[in-house]
A = this chain, B = another copy of it.
Amino acid sequence: MSTVFQFIGENITYIYLILLMAFVGVELISHVPSVLHTPLMSGANAIHGVVLIGAIIVLGNAEATDYFSLIVGFVGVFVGTLNVIGGFVVTDRMLEMFKKKPKK
């Protein structure tokens, strides 16, 4: 029990950040009209592409001779970019269709 307390205490700021962010996420979504569910899903999908940054860090730190890390990292950055770019572009295309047409 006390190790759990200690863990919580040591990471208290992380816990605040995570809790608050989770609240923000929940509140932001709860009132969204269902028409926008699919674009939102797609937009959120693009945002978790932020994992790309982790891949960049990994590839950036790989030794010049560490081929395993270089190759896997390269793939990581590539697929991460796919997620980010593809995600935002697809979302944009979906949302483009919701725009109001100018009245004739």
What is the interface of chain A, defined by CB distance below 8 A to chain B?
Answer: 13, 16-17, 20-21, 23-24, 27-28, 31
- Dominant secondary structure at the A interface: helix
List the B residue with the shortest CB-CB distance to A21.
B20
In the complex, which residues of chain B have a beta carbon less than 8 angstroms from the beta carbon of A27?
24, 27-28
In the complex, which residues of chain B have a beta carbon less than 8 angstroms from the beta carbon of A21?
20
* B17, B23, B28, B31: the one within 8 Å of A16 (CB): B17
Q: Which one of A20, A28, A31 has the highest number of Cβ atoms from chain B below 10 Å of its Cβ? A: A20
Alpha-carbon distance A28/B20, docked complex (angstroms) = 12
Alpha-carbon distance A21/B19, docked complex (angstroms) = 10
In the complex, which residues of chain B have a beta carbon less than 8 angstroms from the beta carbon of A13?
13, 17
